[in-house]
Each structure stands twice: as structure tokens, then as C-alpha cells.
Amino acid sequence: MTPSENNSSAEELPGLRVTIDKIIHQEMEEPADDEQHAFIYFITISNLSDRTVTLLGRKWIITNADGSKLIVEGDKIVQQTPKLAPGESFSYNSYHVTSQNALAEGAFHGKDDQGAKIFTRIPQFQLIIPNPGFGPAEI
């Protein structure tokens, strides 16, 4: 995966790391006809580089089991533009709702303290709907 076209000159910054800390499947209280399932994911972005960075946005690619894709791009990360000095981290959680198993991946983009465009990849992770009757699941 490459960063979005408007960030095509961005450099993948060594030392800027994304960790998927936890993924929780949560059954929807009022399932729709297509049996929607919520996945709550917890992410940490760690700046192990020698530069201060400001994260400005993200791009997510969700590939469903049937091959269809959902691409979500936008400014900010959970309504924030985190500024991370070397050694600092930013953690947050968000969610995705799907009716089928899927793979999620993407990238965060921003700039360093010199104004150079940077990005880091979000490692691919699975959204697997558990067998019925097993309740909330941690993946």
C-alpha cells in the first residue's frame, strides 16, 4: 500500500511504528438484517525516530472476505493531530463495523519538524467474526 496520492512525495519514516495492541469483537445490540459486527481496535503510534512528527491524517483500506474494499481517508486521528517528540507515543481506540470477515491496513501521514512529509504503515490485521454463541471475543 502506498500513501494517498496527495502525499506521494512522503517518506516512510524509519522508527515511526504502529502497534495493534488489541482487537475486540462486540456483538451489536440491535443487529441489522445483514448481521453487523463491531470490532474495537486499540492502536499505539510510537516515535522511535530522531525527529519530532505531527500526524495529520490517516488512510484505511478494509478488504472484505468477498473481495470488496472500503477505503477511508481523512484529516486527523480521532479528532486530533498528535505531535510526537522522539520517544513519545500516542494511543487511541476506534472501531469498524462489518457484516463479514475482513482485513484492515493503512497508513498515518503527517510532517516532521522540518516540514518534510512522512508516513508510517498500519500493519494488516484481521477482523474475524467468531462463531455464534461465544459472546465478545478478543482477537
Confidence band of 1 (pLDDT split at 50, 70, 90): very low
Element (H, E) at 90: strand 89-98
State the pTM of this model: 0.85
Encode 64-90: b = buried (16+ Cβ within 10 Å), e = exposed: eeeeeeeeebeeebeeeebebeeeeeb
Contacts of 69-75 with C-beta under 8 Å, sequence gap 24+, read 73/4
Do residues 39 and 101 lie in contact, with contact meaning Cβ atoms separated by under 8 Å? no
Determine phi and psi for 14, rounding to 5 degrees: -60, 135
Q: Say what the pLDDT of residue 6 is.
A: 47
Chain segment 42-98, per-residue pLDDT in tens = 999 999 999 999 999 999 999 999 999 999 999 999 999 999 999 999 999 999 999
**Residue 85 is placed in which grid cell?**
517528540
Q: Say what the pLDDT of residue 32 is.
A: 57
The gap between the terminal CA atoms of the chain, to the nearest Å, is 24
Q: Say what the pLDDT of residue 3 is.
A: 41
Do residues 57 and 82 lie in contact, with contact meaning Cβ atoms separated by under 8 Å? no
Q: What is the DSSP string of 77-110?
A: BTTB--EE-TT-EEEEEEEEEESS-EEEEEEEEE
Hey, which residues does 61 pair with through a beta bridge?
Answer: 71, 105
Chain segment 6-55, per-residue pLDDT in tens = 446 899 999 999 999 999 998 777 655 568 899 999 999 999 999 999 99
Hey, which residues does 89 pair with through a beta bridge?
Answer: 46
